[in-house]
Amino acid sequence: MQNLIIVINVLSLVYSGWFIDWLLAPERKRRLLITGILLLILVILAALPFYGSAYSVILVASIIMYVVLTVSWTIFSGSTGYISLAPAAFFGVGIYTSAILGKEFPLFTIVLFGGLTSFCLATLVGALTLRLKGIYFTIFTFGLVLLIYQALLWYEIKFTGTRGRFVVVIDNETIYYVMLAIFVVLLIIAYFIRRSKYGLALRSIGEYEEAAAHMGINVTALKITVFAISAFFMGTAGAIMATKWTYIDPGIAFNPLFSFMPVLMAIFGGTGQFYGPILGAAIFAYLEETLLTRFPYYYMLIFGIILIVAILYMPQGLVGLIQKIQRRISRSERAHT
Amino acid sequence: MHILEGEKVTKYFGGLAAVSDVDFYVDQGEVAGLIGPNGAGKTTLFNLISAALVPKPGIIKFKGKNITGLKPYKICRLGIARTFQTVKIFANLPAVENVRVAAFFGPPKSPSSAEATREAAELLDFVGLSKVSNSPARDLTLANQKRLEVARALATRPELLLLDEMMAGLNQTEVALSMELVKQIRDKGITIVMIEHVMKAIMNVCDRIIVLHHGKKIAEGTPQEIANSKTVVEVYLGEQTDSGS
């Protein structure tokens, strides 16, 4: 029963992306109906604490966290092709903001602040590094994670004398609702970016940046802004997740895994469509949880094998696979008529 | 009136002067040709005008205003558009989106979504690509990709259009169509500077020709004057030697 509830909620997440893709397609009708369905999905997700167990609430919250990280990564990197490995840095900055401010401010302020700090950091880093291209940019963003981690570790040992700190604890339901709220806001923002002329400009930067610059697009400003927006959501996710962990130190907050996971999830799902990264993140996070509980010793191994198979046989991600199947079905239908 | 002026425009790549001390001007409404052997600095000069590169030293003026050192997107919004020698289309976007993005960002004042869409459709029609407007740009033929670049450049509502070897790699029929297109663009009141190796096209459409060689301007004049110029012939065909020797 609990498993079914979890599956329903995960499917709700994925379908929210799928229906947003529907809204984005140019000639689609019945927009009102789709918006209604999206609201229904939101109700299903929002009601989870009332019909699901405490475990399912925690699990879905952490799945949504991965979805938030992956979708916000895709906003920038999916369309521009700048592969950023900085998510762990922005996520960690959110975590630390929350740990520092947690005792003095209300939750809403903390989460907002976590996001804003990441936003500012991303603006600064973006201004410095977004002139780098390809692998250079990727390496630098990953270096940023390690830089902040080391600097913080040095600071804590040198000045505070203690490593790590405690975070104000908040109950799981509140964490879940805040996470869900971040997810909803993120989807709305991502939807409007994709729909707007800026979404088109981002894609043309991904296609040929030099040409985009000569077509009147202020590429630097656009890249930095969207990079910062994507960091904002990673920061908010970090700020709320910190309260779940009660104790954090630089190693936990700036765990490089949080840089790689969103990238892998987005690649696994496929970045072309909206539901791709959501699907990838949802399946991956669910898989991680199940494998971790059932095969604690082999989980990383199984994980790795799945990933290799995915990259070898699904270069366009799950979305590509689904589209291929859809095409095959529609072709055989045509053959029958 | 000079719409574009360059004063002592110079650009070094390492120790090599790709463009050296070039003074030039382009008059409003004319079609100016820019010719010269390979490596003469023609594309570099285009890159300097469109701000992909910055001249050092040198000044470039557009409509009397110094535009040296501005960013490429600003240059575009001021009214200078360009195409590229090797096509730089947005390959995975549909043809119409290629043009639409330029229509959104190129003009000094951004149009509404409906206006941009209409403008894109009109321009695709103008260059004769309405039939393929929804195909991904990568699937177009080279000739059509070059036309798409022209449509995209026009969508930024330029006053000055820089065409970089629009006819290279095209067959006879396509070249004839391209020449027709250049004339149609001129008739819209847009000033054109074109780099071209296809001499027939240059002689046919240009009002005035500038010749570059080793980064220096060696001649300038009407197609007739250029065709008869001794220096230009020497540059292209080698020095004339006495017959029999």
Q: Do B133 and B197 belong to one domain?
A: no
Question: What confidence score (pLDDT) does residue A212 get?
Answer: 94
Asked if residues A244 and A260 have their Cβ atoms less than 8 Å apart, the reply is no
B88 with A197: Cβ contact below 8 A: no
What would the pLDDT profile of A247-285 be if each residue is shown by its tens digit? 898 998 999 989 998 998 898 888 878 889 999 999 888
Encoded tokens for A71 = 């979708």
CA distance A23 to chain B (A): 17
Distance from the first to the final alpha carbon of chain A: 42
Q: Do B6 and B48 belong to one domain?
A: yes
Question: What confidence score (pLDDT) does residue A140 get?
Answer: 92
Q: Do B112 and B141 belong to one domain?
A: yes
Q: Does B89 touch chain A (CB under 8 A)?
A: yes
Q: What is the C-alpha to C-alpha distance for residues B63 and B60, in angstroms, rounded to an integer?
A: 10
Q: What is the mean pLDDT of residues A76-100?
A: 93
Q: Does B71 touch chain A (CB under 8 A)?
A: yes
Q: Do B29 and B133 belong to one domain?
A: no
Residues in chain A within 8 Å Cβ distance of B90: 203-204, 207-208, 211-212
Report if pTM > 0.80. yes
Q: Please tell me what DSSP assigns to residue B116.
A: H
Disruptive mutation site among B47, B104, B123 for chain A (greatest number of A CBs within 10 Å): B104
Q: Do B147 and B164 belong to one domain?
A: no
Q: Does B97 touch chain A (CB under 8 A)?
A: yes
Question: What confidence score (pLDDT) does residue B239 get?
Answer: 67
Q: What is the mean pLDDT of residues A296-313?
A: 82
Q: Do B170 and B153 belong to one domain?
A: no
What would the pLDDT profile of B206-229 be if each residue is shown by its tens digit? 999 999 999 899 989 998 888 888
Q: Do B73 and B11 belong to one domain?
A: yes
Ordered by start, the domain boundaries in chain A are 2-336
Q: What is the C-alpha to C-alpha distance for residues A228 and B192, in angstroms, rounded to an integer?
A: 40
pLDDT-derived band at A318 (thresholds 50, 70, 90) equals confident
Percent of chain A with pLDDT over 90: 52
Q: Where are the alpha helices (DSSP H) in chain B?
A: 42-49, 72-78, 95-105, 113-126, 142-155, 172-187, 199-205, 223-228, 230-237
Which of B93, B113, B156 faces A203 most closely, judged by CB atoms? B93
Question: What confidence score (pLDDT) does residue A334 get?
Answer: 67
> Per this entry, what is the length of chain A?
337
B106 with A213: Cβ contact below 8 A: no
B101 with A210: Cβ contact below 8 A: no
Q: Do B162 and B147 belong to one domain?
A: no
Kindly list the averaged pLDDT for each block of 10 residues, start to end, along chain B of length 245.
90 89 92 90 92 90 92 94 93 94 92 92 93 93 93 94 90 90 93 90 90 90 88 76 54
Q: Do B194 and B230 belong to one domain?
A: yes
What would the pLDDT profile of A219-247 be if each residue is shown by its tens digit? 999 999 999 999 999 999 999 999 988 88
Q: Do B132 and B182 belong to one domain?
A: no
Q: Count CB-CB contacts under 10 A for residue A333.
A: 9
Q: Do B141 and B164 belong to one domain?
A: no
Question: What confidence score (pLDDT) does residue B245 get?
Answer: 45
Q: Does B223 touch chain A (CB under 8 A)?
A: no
Question: What confidence score (pLDDT) does residue A320 get?
Answer: 85
Q: What is the mean pLDDT of residues A129-154?
A: 90
User: Is B86 a domain residue?
Assistant: no
B50 with A219: Cβ contact below 8 A: no
> Domain count of chain B?
2
Q: What is the mean pLDDT of residues A5-19?
A: 90
Residues 6+ apart with CB under 8 A from B78: B62, B67, B70, B108
CATH of the domain at B220: 3.40.50.300
Question: What confidence score (pLDDT) does residue A28 get?
Answer: 67
Q: How many CB pairs under 8 A join A and B?
A: 75
Q: Count CB-CB contacts under 10 A for residue A153.
A: 16
Residues in chain A within 8 Å Cβ distance of B72: 213-214
> Comparing A11-15, A128-132, A160-164, B30-34, which segment has the lowest mean pLDDT?
A160-164
CA angle A79, A83, A87 (to 5 degrees): 105
Domain that holds residue B68: 2-79+158-237
Among B157, B187, B210, the domain boundary falls at B157
> Per this entry, what is the length of chain B?
245
Q: Do B178 and B138 belong to one domain?
A: no
A200 with B106: Cβ contact below 8 A: no
Q: Output the CA–CA distances (angstroms, integers) from residue B192 to A149, B104, B154, B184, in the order listed.
A: 55, 22, 11, 11
